[in-house]
Amino acid sequence: METTAVKKGPRELTLAHWKRTTEADKKKRILSAVLRLVVKYGVHGTTTAGIAAEAGMSEPTLYRTYRNKKDILLATADAAWQMRQADIGSASDPDALKHLRKLAEYHTNSIQMTRAVEIVYHFAVAPPEFGLLERIREQIVSEVQRMANLMEEGKTQGSIRPDVNSQEAAWRLMAAFWSESTARLFHFEDAVLASGISAKNLDSILKEIATEPRS
């Protein structure tokens, strides 16, 4: 039986506390702890004991919420993806081409202020038994398809050339996003992002698929 309190900062979070906490709140606390630990120690160095301590709970409480480390990591990957999707919601626009342009601007600006690139890197190189690389691949394919769908919509609206290969163009945008992510990961923000080089590259792709040059 779990009777001891778990120290978290200046407070002690007891079993009674966790019994009063909703499952959603427990999961949010656990996943936030994982994100902090993975940045510091990578996936291999992020243990369930460490996650429990960082979240302010015991391991038995942790295992009542998730079955194992793999489930925790996959849930974290999904949560990070959902947060990103929620963030880029502000980049939407009824005009498909403008929507794509806003997505490009959002990525260039936001990638300079987030540690998400480090999280994705650690997940991508994690041991294969966790299934994290496959989950990230699924997310990327989903994002590429979403941009390809926007391009098809733009053809209907008349803002994107009808002869454009939407899948190919969407992958070109994704490749440009990867370039920005790599610049962030290796601390070349000034040379690639702040300098405007990446923004010019994205702009050239969007101008190329536009029905006519757009500013």
DSSP-based three-state secondary structure for 210:
strand
* CB-based contact 102:92 (threshold 8 Å): yes
Prediction pTM value:
0.85
**Domain(s) of CATH 1.10.10: residues in the chain:** 6-66
In terms of DSSP H, where are the helices of the chain? 15-20, 23-45, 48-55, 59-65, 69-87, 96-110, 116-124, 132-157, 166-185, 197-209
Backbone angles phi, psi at 8, to 5 degrees: -140, 100
**Domain(s) of CATH 1.10.357.10: residues in the chain:** 74-209
Query: What dotted CATH number matches 74-209?
Result: 1.10.357.10
Pick the CATH number of 6-66 from 1.10.10, 3.30.920, 1.10.1060, 1.10.8: 1.10.10
* CB-based contact 2:58 (threshold 8 Å): yes
DSSP-based three-state secondary structure for 1:
coil
Per-residue model confidence as pLDDT tens digits over 171-204: 999 999 999 999 999 999 999 999 999 999 999 9
Cα 106 from Cα 103, distance rounded (Å): 5
In the predicted model, is pLDDT for residue 121 greater than 60?
A: yes
Half-sphere exposure of 203 toward its Cβ, with a 13 Å CA cutoff? 10
- Confidence bin at 11 (pLDDT 50/70/90): very low
**Residue 69: CB partners within 8 Å, gap ≥ 6?**
47, 48, 130
Q: Which residue has the higher pLDDT, 83 or 178?
A: 178
